[in-house]
Chains A and B, each alone.
Chain A
Amino acid sequence: MRAGKETGMPIAERFESIGRKGRQKKTLRCGADSLAGSVSQRACVYCGARVVLNPVTDAVHLVHGPIGCAVYTWDIRGSLSSDAELYRSSFSTDLKERDVVFGGEEKLTRAIDQLVEKYHPPVVFVYSTCIVGVIGDDLEAVCKSASRRHAIEVIPVESTGFSGNKADGYRAACDVLMRVIASGQREREEAGESGSSSRDELAINYLGDFNLAGEAWIIRDYFREIGIPVNTVFTGDSTYESIRGAGRARLNIMQCAGSMNYLAGKMEEQFGIPCLQVSFVGLTDTADSLRRVAAFLGDEKICWRAEELIARESEKVKPLIREYRRKMKGKKAAIYVGGGFKAISLVRQFGELGIDVVMVGTQTGRKEEYETLFDLASEGTVILDDANPSELEKFMVEEGADLLVGGVKERPLAYKLGVAFIDHNHDRKHPLSGFTGAVNFAGEVYTTLFSPVWKFTRGGEVWENGGYSYGRASC
């Protein structure tokens, strides 16, 4: 039996969230709540806040709630640190029945005290969970008094799980980051370093890279080489101090807009730091982004060095990419990722590799991003928002995808269909950013597409065809 059998067609409520290039107007319904009863691949507000803040390496990330929320986010992001490792431990108030009845504020207070005493962190993030939103613990007050007691920042994260979706969690995290940035800024101003004069005229902040597999380091090194210091990365390999210094930068560049758009807006509004959208996924986007940043800063030497770097790195990787392209041309890919920016870049990157994208979807893409996807995609490409596994399966099978790009929950689904898979999420093991990353990506795509395992996936066929034929030895 073919699956999709459980489901037939997507039900009526989902029609507006699924489109096909060339057959309709270029919009999708997106950003809506998932349907009750769906097998959604989406997560909650807490999840959104946690993934954005988690890479702050020297913070205590204390989850105020029952144990689960802390367990499922324990060291899963794969964001690398150059120094502190505190963010890789899991802290929870482990709320129990009596806390639910009598309130968890006392327990939270003690937990903060003990953790501060033990680890001496510069900052504690206290995450709110579903249950805290219901029992009404006053996190702000608890954190404020702890902050006073310990003379460090103790900041509540408004991440009550049910109060929206993952994107609302991104905002909650950005609010926290903004609070830290603002306090750093205030302190500098009080010390007489006033706003714009304390700016490093070339320094940039890099928003929306979580340093998975060390990706932010690759990009930082590119900028360093062309003479642009990266001031703060949000939030890959960041620290409390580095975030406090973010106001020093002249320019923000933003990769993952889904999570960082809000912060970029706030920083522009409050500190007058403008923002450029960039992407370091794929050769075209990487080169283009480096050029635009260099041009923005308007220094001729920098532009020139950027061209030099682009030329050199492109030269290095192009023969490799060309070779992969030769082997993989004509294969078909499906994409299902978290945010829109990544989907857009991946469509371009597959273009570089000669691979057709037959389906592309995201969990939390925005309207403009879907419009871009409609522009970029080739005729007939399926474009969808907040897909469930049955829909992913249906379109992968119908469109004959050879490869799926996705996250942890999509991997086994693809494998079951005998479809190759690339993790472009937390479980990636190689950096996929920049020129180096483009080659890694092509290599990973090649490895999975051409694995001998796909020859064995349909056992029945082998038996019906009478086994394998081996080259006949001459005798």
Chain B
Amino acid sequence: MLDSTPKELKERRFGVINPAKTCQPLGAMYAALGLHRCLPHSHGSQGCCSYHRMHLTRHFRDPIMASTSSFTEGSSIFGGAANLKTAIRNVFEIYNPDIVAIHTTCLSETIGDDLPSFLGTIDIPAGKRIIHANTPSYAGSHITGFSSMTRAMVDYFAEASLPEKKEQVNVLPGFVNPGDMREIKRIVRTMGLEPILFPDTAGVVDAPMTGQFSMYPEGGARVEKIIDAGNSRYTLALGLFASSDPAMLLERKCGVEEILLKTPIGIKATDNLLMALRFGFLREISPELAEERGQLVDIMTDTHFHFHGKKVALFGDPDIVSALTEFLLSLGMQPVHVLTGTPGKAFENEVGTMLEEAGIRGRVKAGGDLFEFHQWIKNEPVDLLIGNTYGKYIARAEDIPFVRMGFPNLDRSVHSYLPVVGYKGAMRIIEMVSNALLDRVDRDALDEDFELVM
């Protein structure tokens, strides 16, 4: 399928072939789903809303609800104020959410719709709330959009109402699966703290089957909690790209100190998460987590020879890929091609430094696409590919073992329920990676080399 991808690298500055990112509104929609009884609202053409719902539905395999301003030719000339007004009235009347989280699109941004002034003229029913985020599709990526909507939650809700900070911690998980959000909450609780985690899509996009359909399942972060987030001692911002911006606002607005950490993928990043909790709140590491860590190291020891020196190409969202790079290095692997579609030099610096410290000469790029990534692999072949579903074309063309991780995963199920974060998640990653590598060894082995014990 990708047979025509040439090996020869040539600078391409005009456009993208096979993207490794998508647009801001999708991330904003996903973040908004992480509020309890919230209906995301897309202020733009109805195609945007439909596409985002479809894409998220394919990944989570759950109903994704969102409404749209349904722009027409008229609204794009005269502005979207009238559409928004009608839309909001209809949304509260028909769908009755507690919160409407509006995000913009390239269209409404380009025609210059000014949401704050529109919102000033809209009657919001008693007890209901509206928040908004500017998410023009022509800047950043879905990760930027996720970050912007999370920031809007801080902006609209968080309040420092007490003279002293409480012994409580805010956690901004970033664009991860609900399974990861559940695991992060479990880890924090196991440390004896009650986290205020937002956005929290657990129980929304992985809601259990009950035989009934609910527009607003039980999950999602509660607004009262986010208001109270202004009284927390610390905010753990997990991931520079998705979480730092809202955490910084929380610090500025409410004086809650930001602790910026990697997404807790792998042993080091999870260690750092626990250390932050330990020192921030003077807690002992819980025996349960200490045991999990011990098990993880045991597994790493048992399997280290499978991994050592293996070359890996990985791509995906910047926070996930950066943390995963760190973990692959802990396993003795060589991440030689590392790419994200999200623009941002910080990614190149962060990953570049890790590789340099490990003495690995690799290629790192932010704002890249999968065409170029494929070319890299053609020039320097790898033993393993890690990325979202779109990696399957490259894996097939180059016949490389492939582990699916990140968003979107359109062709495998269950992934959104099971964590890749924390020690347990690290064990799962090891299982996925070693299964992929060993399945390949088995597949390729001659009869005389085919082994029972590996």
Contact = CB atoms under 8 A, between A and B. Distances in A.
Interface of A: 1-3, 6-7, 10-11, 33-47, 62, 65-74, 85-86, 88-97, 99-100, 107-108, 110-111, 114-115, 118-119, 129-131, 133-135, 161-165, 388-390, 393, 408-409, 411-413, 415-418, 457-460
A7 B41 CA distance: 17
Interface in B203-245: 207-216
A134 B18 contact: no
A70 B215 contact: no
A90 B22 CA distance: 12
B214 A1 contact: yes
A408 B57 contact: yes
Contact of A161 (B45, B212, B216): B45
A74 B51 contact: no
A131 B45 CA distance: 11
Interface in B39-85: 39, 41, 44-55, 57-58, 61-73, 75-76, 83-84
A413 B217 CA distance: 13
Contacts of B88: 37
Given A411-B57, A413-B63, A40 B50 contact: yes
Contacts of A3: 212-215
Contacts of B17: 89-91, 115
B89 interface: yes
Interface of B: 1-4, 6, 12-19, 21-23, 25-26, 39, 41, 44-55, 57-58, 61-73, 75-76, 83-84, 86-91, 93-97, 105-107, 110-111, 136-139, 141, 207-216, 341, 371, 390, 393
B90 A38 contact: yes
Contacts of B50: 40-44, 47, 409
B19 A47 contact: no
A162 B71 contact: yes
24 contacts: A11-B90, A35-B70, A39-B39, A67-B141, A68-B25, A68-B137, A85-B3, A88-B1, A90-B19, A93-B16, A94-B19, A100-B138, A111-B15, A115-B15, A118-B6, A130-B105, A130-B107, A162-B72, A390-B94, A408-B58, A411-B61, A418-B209, A459-B208, A460-B210
Given A35-B90, A66-B23, A119-B4, A46 B47 contact: yes
Contacts of B68: 34, 36-40
B15 A114 contact: yes
Nearest to A94: B16
A408 B62 CA distance: 10
Contacts of B54: 72, 408-409
A385 to B, nearest CB: 15
A40 B70 CA distance: 9
Contact of A162 (B49, B51, B75): B75
A85 B6 CA distance: 15
Given A3-B212, A34-B46, 14 more contacts: A37-B91, A38-B70, A38-B94, A47-B50, A68-B48, A71-B21, A72-B52, A74-B19, A86-B4, A94-B15, A96-B139, A118-B6, A130-B76, A416-B63
A11 B94 contact: yes
